[in-house]
Amino acid sequence: GQQVMQIPQYQHVQEGEDFTTYCNSSTTLSNIQWYKQRPGGHPVFLIQLVKSGEVKKQKRLTFQFGEAKKNSSLHITATQTTDVGTYFCAGFSGTYKYIFGTGTRLKVLA
Amino acid sequence: DVKVTQSSRYLVKRTGEKVFLECVQDMDHENMFWYRQDPGLGLRLIYFSYDVKMKEKGDIPEGYSVSREKKERFSLILESASTNQTSMYLCASCRAPGELFFGEGSRLTVL
């Protein structure tokens, strides 16, 4: 079945360092979404990418969707303690099913 | 704001008990989902529903059933709870394929 792999599983960074998490799908996706889950919280939608090669920015966060629509990345510039949490990608292939990656847990050391 | 409400934040049940987890959304969303979240495994889809009385199996439906009698309510049922069903259960909803809105989660412990 369809799988979405996400790496790394954990990342510890010093405050101010950059951070990147990557997602790879076994199949071509219609779109990909990114979610953030704060410790003790529930996933909250960040963004959706639809077009091949699309790049979107939200302040310090940059999201990319690969040309083949099978991979995506989230890059955070100059991390802050408020960025702590687990970041999930979710691939959608047009069957009402969102397949979530395993998540990357980010810890930011002040 | 969209609100997805799960009936219980924490439950403790015994092996073999029947467990109901309820989810209600207030934004008239067609699509509703049940996921379970386990450390290192991310969110895995149990069941989803794209309309009243319609349901589709997700990736891990074994040991679970669902009910959607009304558009706003999607229930997850564990007919006979087992210890390997100890987990965090997350309900979500969306209109057309798009942003998923999640509930706060229900942490189930099966003893």
Q: Which two tokens stand for residue A68?
A: 């083949």
Reply yes or no on whether the pLDDT at A48 is more than 70: yes
The span from the CA of A66 to the CA of B106, in Å, is 35
Reply yes or no on whether the pLDDT at A1 is more than 80: no
Residues of chain B above pLDDT 70, percent: 98
Residue of chain B minimizing CA distance to A6 = B42
What confidence category does residue A71 fall into, taking pLDDT thresholds of 50, 70 and 90? very high
Is A35 in contact with B40 (Cβ distance < 8 A)? no
Which residue from B35, B97, B103 is facing A92, i.e. has the nearest CB? Answer: B97
A interface residues, B as partner, C-beta within 8 Å? 1, 6, 9, 30-31, 33, 35, 41-45, 48, 88, 90, 92, 94, 96-103
Q: Which residues contact A74 (CB under 8 A, 6 or more apart)?
A: A20, A21, A34, A46, A61, A62, A63, A87, A89
The span from the CA of A38 to the CA of A58, in Å, is 18
| Mean pLDDT, rounded, for B91-104 | 91
Predicted local distance difference test score (pLDDT) of residue A97:
78
Among B110, B92, B107, which Cα is nearest to B9's?
B107
| Mean pLDDT, rounded, for B67-87 | 97
Predicted local distance difference test score (pLDDT) of residue B29:
93
What confidence category does residue B2 fall into, taking pLDDT thresholds of 50, 70 and 90? low
Is B42 in contact with A88 (Cβ distance < 8 A)? yes
| Mean pLDDT, rounded, for A46-55 | 97
pLDDT, one tens digit per residue, over A87-105 is 999 998 776 678 899 999 9
Interface mutation target, options A26, A92, A96, A100, chain B, most CBs of B under 10 Å: A96
Instruction: Decide: helix, strand or coil at residue B95.
Output: coil
Reply yes or no on whether the pLDDT at A18 is more than 80: yes
Predicted local distance difference test score (pLDDT) of residue B65:
97
Looking at every residue in chain A, the average pLDDT score rounds to 94
